[in-house]
Structures are given as C-alpha cells and as structure tokens.
Chain A
C-alpha cells in the first residue's frame, strides 16, 4: 500500500535511492570531499 520512495515501502531499495538524493542535494552546497565526509558523519549517528 506504500509506493516506492515512501519510507514504509519495502519493494524498492530506499537506502540506494536516498544515497542518490543526498548526493544530488549535497553537491548544491558542498565540495565533493566535504559532502562525502558529511554523509559519512550523518550515517554514523
């Protein structure tokens, strides 16, 4: 009942889609290296 892209959906690899989204949005504001470090930091919380 939840489409792909929704947090409750379990038929699409949401983690992979979100990784892509973070990169697309992050590169608007950060350098590549800062972005990598930032995402790693967030994922380690």
Chain B
C-alpha cells in the first residue's frame, strides 16, 4: 500500500497491468508457511483465497489498476485513501473475483519467498515483509 501511495503513476502505468514484469514478495517464516504454501497458490474458493498471498496481492493490484485514475494523481494520494479504495472486501472473495483473468495474470508474475534469518529476527516485534515490483520500464 505504501508503494502504491508513493509511486502510483509509475506502478499503475495508466491502468495497463501488462506493464508489470514481476512482483517479488518476502516475509518471515510464520507468514510464509501459512500464506505462501506452494500447495495453495491456485485458490478455488474463498477459504483458500484468503490464505493465499499471491491472490491477496494480485487482487489488490487489480483493483489499483482499475482505479488508476483516482490513485495516480500528480499530488499523490494518502495511505489512508489508498486503504479505503483498495482494502479487500467480501466481494473480492467471490467466485467471479477468484477466477478474474486479470488477477490470475498478475498472480502468475508473483514470486513469494521466505525472507530468511533477517526477516525472522524481526518477528514478533514486527511483521517483516517486503514487496518489490518490477515494471516493464524499470
């Protein structure tokens, strides 16, 4: 959310989601084990989608691309406003959303990795995680 708030024009690229090249997510072990489980990276229902990091991030990004005109302003957007536009709601776990073609395409570009000792050391005092988005135009 911070990334979208701070660099929305570059990331959202006028609503063209094909500008995304890759998305790399790292998290501490406990999170990776629960929502990064390779056996659950192709969710078929709400119960599996809400435990699938790649689905959650891809859905948030799809919504951001759909709302790029609101989010990509010259002056930027506050993080609070980003949250209000992009937070996932029940409709985002509907069958239609789970099998949304754009979401699935974005999911195919996501890699989720365990961040290693550096990330683990920061938990539970924090929940260390990072998202790196590579766009076609770097």
Contacts and interface: CB of A to CB of B under 8 A. Distances in A.
Range of interface residues on A (Cβ < 8 Å): 10 to 19
Contacts of B126: 1-2
A20 B129 contact: no
Contact of B89 (A2, A6, A24): A24
Nearest to A17: B83
Given A24-B89, A25-B90, A28-B90, A5 B128 contact: no
B45 interface: no
A16 interface: yes
| A-B pairs with lowest CB-CB distance, top 8 | A1-B126, A20-B84, A17-B83, A12-B79, A4-B79, A16-B80, A13-B80, A24-B89
